[in-house]
């Protein structure tokens, strides 16, 4: 039996539920313990971590960070009173008062564009910087960061270097041709539940005492190291077993225990899944995790859009604003990039006809993104849309430009070689800088 297979077999006995999840998680950790590949020297980095707030379904730019009150009711609907921020001249949506007081910490990109209106294909473009249809499936930004800042490059944490709260991002392979070693660990569960049941680490059915008893029983039954002539062969396997129990019973596992946070702090983030995910993301980057994604669904509002926004926007406002303030107060914002985006925006013109009743469709022609921290300058606006938010009017920003900018701040050369098992001559990111067209990396806010 191979070492990897042996680890997976042992791990299957550790947990009552989701043994495959535990095996996949620990294979990533344990492979990192004995990886023979030498880490490439990293260029200077301003950022150490990324928190990606992924609004699956596509948030409306007009209702959030690019309001157009002058466009009229058929474009803004009932949200016709944008509010000033703490940065003179910048206004945002009226249901984001807390984020309005944090505008000095973030930059708004109002000219994102890729022109694709399909969820999966648009998500692939925004996550990878590549157009779909190539012979290769390219890795998402989190997998790239995991490759260059994870176990291959000196990361030693037991918590995986790429984590998604709480479900995978969509119907595409985040790791692409890099392979399963660089896939995210999706926690499952709900951080707002009484106990955050992290897939493969926390079980509702087992107490810590019973888990310790199982560990002791496993140790008593495992006689192979005592009968082999060279028990050191099992030393690495034993190290992985200890790492597994550290994740479940030790300090690493306690990282996911939000009950250790003061109730007042949890209240500030908002007692909902998104708010507590923001708090969990802060704890993870504080512990040194390089890439954390908050997969925040519910933005595909074809029908009754404004009713949904009255619930979603205040929730987002509280969680994201508290995250920015908390990172700043703890001295983490300078080294943590916060990236807010969906796969596209939503149609600026509202569809009032049945069955949509005030809905917005998919819109990849022009949309918004927000970046903060980690070397990005706050209190700025990049680009502009036209009077109705339907087209880019100034400084088009393509997903590859944004991703390349984040990578550069993370100390990863976007123009450098992308390692791959096929030996293909690939770059980390398909950067296409053209100052004459106003495209390229976000130098104005870096």
Provide the residue-wise pLDDT of the chain in tens; the chain has 446 residues.
333 333 333 333 333 334 444 444 555 555 444 443 444 455 589 999 999 999 999 999 999 999 999 999 999 999 999 999 999 999 999 999 999 999 999 999 999 999 999 999 999 999 999 998 888 899 999 999 999 999 998 898 888 999 999 998 877 789 999 999 999 999 999 999 988 888 766 656 666 666 666 656 666 666 666 666 666 656 665 656 566 556 555 666 688 899 999 999 999 999 999 999 999 999 999 999 999 999 999 999 999 999 999 999 999 999 999 999 999 999 999 999 999 999 999 999 999 999 999 999 999 999 999 999 999 999 999 999 999 999 999 999 999 999 999 999 999 999 999 988 888 889 999 866 655 556 789 999 99
Question: b vs e for 201-212, b when ≥16 Cβ sit within 10 Å of the residue's Cβ?
Answer: bbbeeeeeeebe
CB 199 within 8 A of CB 256: no
For 268, residues 6+ apart whose C-beta sits below 8 A from its C-beta are: 318, 322, 326
Q: How far apart are the first and last CA of the chain?
A: 51
For domain 35-202+256-445, say whether CATH 3.40.720.10 is its number.
yes
Tokens 């997998």 correspond to 143
Inter-residue contact 177 to 420 (CB < 8 Å): yes
The pLDDT value recorded for residue 205 is 63
Instruction: Read off the tokens for 3.
Output: 């070492």
In the chain, what are the domain boundaries? Answer: 35-202+256-445
154, burial (CB in 10 Å: exposed 0-12, middle 13-18, buried 19+)? exposed
- In this structure, is the dihedral angle defined by the CA atoms of residues 303, 306, 308 and 312, taken in order, positive or negative? positive
Collect all residues with Cβ–Cβ distance below 8 Å to 114 and sequence separation of at least 6. Answer: 122, 125, 126, 344, 364, 398, 399
- B/e letters for 77-100, b = 16+ CB within 10 Å, e = fewer, are bebeebeebebeebbbbbbbebbb
pTM metric for this prediction: 0.84
Nearest Cα residue to 190 out of 137, 121, 258: 258
Nearest partner of 155 among 285, 251, 53, judged by Cα: 285
**Length, in residues, of the chain:** 446
232 and 262 Cβ atoms separated by less than 8 Å? no
| Region of residue 195 (left: phi > 0; alpha: psi -120 to 50; beta: else) | beta
Cα–Cα distance list, 234 to 230, 244, 248 (Å): 8, 15, 21
DSSP 101: T
What is d(CA 67, CA 78) in angstroms, rounded to the nearest whole number? 12
Can you give the pLDDT at residue 86?
A: 97
* Cβ-based burial of 216 (10 A; exposed 0-12, middle 13-18, buried ≥19): exposed
Q: Residue 397 carries which DSSP code?
A: B
E strands in 87-219: 91-92, 106-112, 162-165, 185-186
């Amino acid at each position: 039996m191979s070492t990897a297979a042996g680890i997976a077999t042992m791990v299957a006995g550790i947990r009552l539920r989701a043994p495959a999840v535990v095996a996949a998680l620990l294979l990533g950790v344990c492979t990192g313990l004995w990886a023979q590949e030498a880490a490439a020297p990293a260029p200077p980095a301003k950022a150490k971590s990324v928190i990606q707030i992924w609004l699956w379904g596509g948030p409306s730019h007009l209702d959030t960070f690019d309001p157009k009150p002058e466009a009229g009711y058929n474009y803004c609907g009932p949200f016709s009173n944008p509010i000033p921020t703490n940065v003179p001249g910048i206004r945002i949506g009226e249901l984001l008062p807390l984020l309005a007081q944090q505008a000095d910490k973030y930059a708004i990109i109002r000219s994102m564009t890729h022109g694709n209106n399909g969820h999966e294909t648009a998500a692939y473009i925004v996550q990878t910087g590549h157009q779909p249809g190539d012979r290769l499936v390219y890795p998402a930004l989190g997998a790239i960061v995991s490759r260059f800042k994870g176990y291959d490059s000196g990361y030693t944490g037991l918590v995986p270097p790429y984590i998604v709260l709480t479900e995978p991002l969509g119907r595409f392979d985040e790791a692409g041709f890099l392979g399963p070693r660089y896939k995210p660990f999706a926690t499952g569960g709900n951080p707002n539940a009484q106990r955050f049941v992290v897939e493969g680490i926390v079980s509702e059915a087992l107490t810590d005492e019973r888990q310790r008893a199982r560990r002791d029983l496993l140790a008593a039954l495992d006689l192979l190291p005592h009968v082999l002539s060279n028990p050191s062969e099992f030393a690495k396997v034993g190290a992985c077993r200890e790492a597994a129990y550290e994740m479940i019973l030790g300090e690493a596992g306690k990282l996911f225990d939000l009950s250790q946070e003061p109730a007042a702090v949890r209240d500030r983030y908002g007692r909902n899944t998104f708010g507590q995910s923001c708090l969990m993301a802060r704890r993870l980057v504080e512990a040194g995790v390089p890439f954390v994604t908050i997969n925040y669904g519910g933005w595909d509002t074809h029908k009754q859009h404004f009713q949904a926004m009255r619930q979603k926007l205040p929730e987002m406002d509280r969680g994201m604003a508290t995250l920015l303030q908390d990172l700043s107060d703890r001295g983490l914002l300078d080294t943590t990039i916060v990236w807010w985006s969906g796969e596209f925006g939503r149609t600026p013109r509202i569809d009032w006809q049945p069955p949509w009743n005030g809905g917005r469709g998919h819109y990849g022609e022009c949309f918004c993104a927000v970046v903060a921290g980690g070397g990005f300058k706050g209190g700025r606006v990049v680009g502009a849309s036209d009077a109705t938010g339907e087209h880019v009017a100034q400084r088009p920003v393509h997903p590859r430009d944004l991703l390349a900018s984040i990578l550069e701040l993370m100390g990863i050369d976007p123009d450098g070689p992308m390692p791959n098992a096929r030996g293909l001559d690939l770059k980390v990111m398909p950067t296409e800088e053209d100052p004459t067209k106003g495209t390229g990396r976000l130098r104005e806010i870096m």
